[in-house]
Amino acid sequence: MSKSILITGASTGIGRALAFEFSRRGYALGLCSRRLELLELMRDELSRETKVVIAKLDVVEFKRVQEVLSRMAEELGGVEIVIANAGVAERSHPGEGTFYLDRNVIEINLLGAIATIDAGTDILKKEGGGQIVAISSVAGFRGLSSTPAYSASKAALSTYMEGIRNKLKEHKIVVTVLNPGFIDTPINTHRKSRPFVISAEKGARLMADMIEKKIWSSAVPVWPWSFITKIMRLVPERLWSKINV
């Protein structure tokens, strides 16, 4: 079986960049997204030597996730890596009528990711092993005042991945969690400040390297975010509340 990978949320941002990076590395691609028309354009842009299977999928349609991913894996002739990447970020504050935004963030970023991981695990068990990857965020290390639901969703996703690691090891499935800092994608272009921002292409290259090395977890890029996240965790809550604006 040739190298192959499934990526959710593949039409824009990190998912799109990862698709092009893994194409350059010789992987067959199973790409899904809510916006099929963007995937169709991507398929035309990707190398003709890359086998590409696409499908329309909203990961909050939980009952369809297993069906769509399984069908794509079958069309690829098998799969080695499943990346739960689909995600959104919304600015929200309690008491301001934005609960519907928070619910959408949690459903996509957490429940949609878990549905993807569940379906991906089922596929990889049948393959005899492989790798499950979750794209989390450094925002999950502390609650951010502008996007609290996003921080909560990513913290919960990272904790979930940590919780399933030992069990999946029994099935020869590696569990990888990647925590990007600011990657230049549409999900964060609205922010006034994006410290240490890197291009989507560079971010995808770093993440692909980490995935191929089968690391358990890492900030992306490692420097300076590994250091920054350690400091974030050590800042006392009273001080964090003053600087977290």
CATH number of domain containing 161: 3.40.50.720
Residue among 21, 55, 15, 19 at smallest CA distance from 35: 55
CB 7 within 8 A of CB 42: no
Q: What is the enclosing helix (H) or strand (E) of 240?
A: helix 237-243
pLDDT at 245: 57
**3-state DSSP assignment of residue 183:** strand
How many C-beta atoms lie closer than 10 Å to residue 12's C-beta?
17
pLDDT at 195: 81
The answer to whether the pTM exceeds 0.85 is yes
Domain count for the chain: 1
φ, ψ of residue 25 in degrees (nearest 5): -90, 5
Q: Which domain holds residue 151?
A: 4-243
Question: The tokens of 93 are what?
Answer: 């504050």
**pLDDT tens for the 245 residues of the chain, in order:** 479 999 999 999 999 999 999 999 999 999 999 999 999 999 999 978 899 999 999 999 999 999 999 999 999 999 999 999 999 999 998 999 999 999 999 999 999 999 999 999 999 999 999 999 999 999 999 998 889 999 999 999 999 999 999 999 999 999 999 999 999 987 877 777 778 889 999 999 999 999 999 999 999 999 999 999 999 989 998 888 888 75
CB 222 within 8 A of CB 178: no
Distances (CA, A) of 96 to 10, 93, 190, 192, 241: 32, 6, 20, 22, 20
> How does 29-50 read in b/e, with b if 16+ C-beta sit within 10 Å?
bbbbbbeeebbeebeeebeeeb
How many whole angstroms separate alpha carbon 232 and alpha carbon 133?
24
What are the residues whose beta carbons fall under 8 Å from the beta carbon of 183, sequence distance 6 or more?
13, 14, 17, 197, 198, 199, 200, 203, 220
pLDDT at 241: 85
pLDDT at 36: 96
pLDDT at 240: 85
pLDDT at 196: 84
Active site residues: 150
Q: What is the enclosing helix (H) or strand (E) of 133?
A: strand 130-135
What are the residues whose beta carbons fall under 8 Å from the beta carbon of 30, sequence distance 6 or more?
4, 5, 6, 7, 53, 54, 55, 69, 72, 73, 75, 76, 79
> How does 149-174 read in b/e, with b if 16+ C-beta sit within 10 Å?
bbbbbbbbbbebbeebbeebeeeebb
